[in-house]
Structure formats: structure tokens, C-alpha cells
Chains A and B, each alone.
Chain A
Amino acid sequence: EIMMTQSPATLSVSPGDTATLSCRASQSVGNNLAWYQQKPGQAPRLLISRASTRATGIPARFSGSGSGTEFSLTISSLQSEDFAVYYCQQYNKWPFTFGPGTKVDIK
């Protein structure tokens, strides 16, 4: 099973700042990496697939990069609605696995 780790566990950011979240896979997943955003009481929302492709309707301030085992999600000019938990997921190999999440909260 491919283990996914995310850092930091919590990121405190001021509105308008840039947040950079990291995701690491225990073995290469190519670019088969997705990022999701989850707010309390809601289902996750797909932000990024194939490591860097924004899903339909996702603002350009969300960007993904990386390949192999190292990935990052950058949120530029953080808006109030961006404070949430972010998960990465590899879908290169069964079982698909999620990272433990990074909580982005208000500084």
C-alpha cells in the first residue's frame, strides 16, 4: 500500500497570504495525484487532478505541482472560504490512499 503523508498538519495563514501544502508518497505515483478541499459537515470537493490540472470551476489561485513522490498545493491570496482541510490522494495503484490532511486555519 502506498502511504501518503502531508505537511504541515496545521497551517495558520492570514487572509491574502499564500499557503503552500506538501504531500509525499511512499513510492512513485507518477502524476496520479489529486487534491481535495473539505469544509466541516460537507463532502470533499475535488480541486486538482493529475497533480496540476484544476477541476472545473476551481479558481486559478489554486495550483498544484510535482510528480513522482513529491507534490504541493499552493493557494494564493487566501480568501475566507479557503480555510478548510485539504487532502491529497494517489490513484496510481490500488488501494487508492489519502493523506491525513492539512488544516488551513486563520492566523
Chain B
Amino acid sequence: QVQLVESGGGVVQPGRSLRLSCATSGFTFSVYALHWVRQAPGKGLEWVAFISYDGNTEYYADSVKGRFTISRDNSKNTLDLHMSGLRGEDTAVYYCARSDSGPYLYWGQGTLVTVSS
């Protein structure tokens, strides 16, 4: 079955960096676009970043542009999100999600990132 498992979350000081990973299985990784979506505590969903199936196209939310970088390794079936210059407002559960021609049919369980001194 399709699985997406995020890791790498934790507590990090403002201004520091953190790398999240999403390990996948159960589907042909290299043909699907992938996204990161986050959810601040008690808040709604916010799309963060997109990467095309081949890694050649990336899009970012304005709130993270220039600070976050999405990448993928189609040989290892993994998706990453490198986050730098972290701010308090980046505190959230981060989900990786598989795009099925737009909407997200499959999600990971999420990993919590807390930005605090």
C-alpha cells in the first residue's frame, strides 16, 4: 500500500536550519509530483512547496520562498524539505503529500517542527 513517512522534525532555534525527509513506498515514486503542506498548532492547512515528478519544476509559498528548498531523489524514493532561517511562524506539523493530478490522495502522518529559543 502507499505509504509516506516524514521524519526530521524537532525543536530548533530561530534562524537555524532543519531538514525534513519523507520516505515513500508502495507506488512508482518517479511519476508523481509531491508537495509539502503544513499546519500550525490549532490552525488550518497551508501549502508550502511543490516539486514535479522529475524534479525540474519547483514552486514555493511566498511565506517560505528563499528560505525553504524542496528536493527529491527518485533513486531512493525520498522527498526532502530543507528549511533555513527558521522563524516562530514556521512552527507547524509538516506533511508530505502525493499529488494525483492536483488534489492530495495520500498524506504522511506529519512531523512537528517547533521553532523556539
**Interface residues of A, Cβ cutoff 8 Å to B:** 1, 32, 34, 36, 38, 43-46, 49, 55-56, 87, 89, 91, 94-101
Taking A49-B100, A49-B103, A101-B44 as given, write out 13 further A-B residue pairs in contact, using a Cβ cutoff of 8 Å, ordered by the A residue number: A34-B103, A43-B95, A43-B107, A45-B107, A49-B102, A87-B44, A87-B45, A89-B45, A89-B103, A96-B47, A98-B45, A98-B46, A98-B47
Scan residues 65-117 of chain B and give those whose CB is less than 8 A from a CB of chain A.
95, 100, 102-105, 107-110
Closest to B109 in A: A43
Report the interface size for chain B: residues with CB under 8 A from the other chain.
19
B interface residues (Cβ-Cβ under 8 A, vs A): 35, 44-47, 50, 59, 61-62, 95, 100, 102-105, 107-110
- Chain A residues with CB under 8 Å of B103's CB are 34, 46, 49, 89, 91
Q: Which of A32, A34, A44, A94 has the most CB of B within 10 A?
A: A44
Partner of A43, one of B50, B61, B62, B108: B108
Residues of B within 8 A of A89 (CB): 45, 103
- Cα(A44)–Cα(B61), bound, Å: 19
Please tell me if the beta carbons of A43 and B44 are within 8 angstroms of each other in the complex: no
